Chains A and B, each alone.
Chain A
Amino acid sequence: MQGEILFLCVTVFTAGFAIAVGVIFPALGQGKACAQALESIARQPEATGPISRTLFVGLAMLESLAIYVLVISLILLFANPLLRYVFR
């Protein structure tokens, strides 16, 4: 039984840790992208349309990194494929 409990603890810890680390860096990147876009919109308000469109595409690309982490930790928590080897 010890091994199974250890496995569950490690799984939950890994899922939480993965979300924590995996969200920090996309958030930093998105903040940087938003700051730059705001700066350039403030400098050139007439270019708002193209800038915000490109910003959305870039933010989507950055966001998908965080989404990969979310999907992996959801798989770890709710659909762990290794569970059936531990609990036979």
Chain B
Amino acid sequence: MEEIFNPRVLFYLFSVPVTRTTVSTWVVMAFLVLLSFLLTRRMSFVPGRLQNVLELFVEAVINLIEGMSPGNGRKFLPLVGALALFIGTANLAHLVPGLKAPTSDFNTAFGLALVVFFAVPFYGIATRGLKNYFKEYISPSPILLPFHIISEITRTFSLALRLFGNILGEEIIIGILFLLAPLVVPVPMMLFSIFSGVIQAYIFTILTVVYLSSAVEVSKH
């Protein structure tokens, strides 16, 4: 219980502390890289069974983006798909014994939110140009400039805190149940944590798409 906010430091790499969540992130990364390498090694035009799974995922992400911001499916796919895959896998990592979900560390969650924070102006400037994008900040009148900036910052924090709080809450509940009755009792909660982990990954993805599409679309007024 004492490692709720500060995950245990396992070892020091060149005097940089490496925590349990960092190692879990490496495991998740290795798993994803290995999986996608093995599944795309012999790609064929007519997909096999395993290749079909990946194509299903890619098409689902494209359809999700097209539903919220039509015409941008291919453009947002690398960022949004990577976020969805990584967060989805990372939220489920605590089901593997010995691993701790990387997203239950606030540093990981805030890092992911920072990616979105920087991707929004990147895509906005790339599609609409520097001048048009920053004109949005003073759009009805320049008085609203601080509020636009504050909303950019607070939504980054809310994105990070939502992911972090949900996954950490699940982990704490499972941990407490494990302390009280370790045999079968935590299993239903662990099954529920699969559901909520996938839902959280979905919500993070969909909010990313909402923010990106609001930056890219040309304003009407």
Q: A: which residues have CB within 8 A of B?
A: 49-50, 53, 56-57, 60, 63-64, 67-68, 70-71, 74-75, 78-79
Contact = CB atoms under 8 A, between A and B. Distances in A.
Interface of B: 1-2, 4-6, 67-68, 158, 161-162, 164-166, 168-169, 172, 199, 202-203, 206-207, 210
A86 B147 CA distance: 38
Q: Is the interface of B mostly helix, strand, loop or mixed?
A: helix
Contacts of A71: 161, 164-165
A75 B68 CA distance: 36
A50 B68 CA distance: 9
Nearest to A59: B203
Contacts of B172: 74
Across the A-B interface, give the 6 residue pairs with the lowest CB-CB distance, nearest first: A67-B165, A60-B203, A64-B162, A79-B5, A78-B4, A64-B158
Given A57-B210, A64-B162, A70 B203 contact: no
A53 B169 contact: no
A63 B159 CA distance: 11
A71 B203 CA distance: 19
24 contacts: A49-B67, A53-B68, A56-B199, A56-B203, A57-B203, A60-B207, A64-B158, A64-B161, A64-B162, A64-B165, A67-B161, A67-B162, A67-B165, A67-B166, A67-B169, A68-B165, A70-B169, A71-B161, A71-B165, A74-B4, A75-B5, A78-B4, A78-B5, A79-B4
Contact of B165 (A53, A70, A79): A70
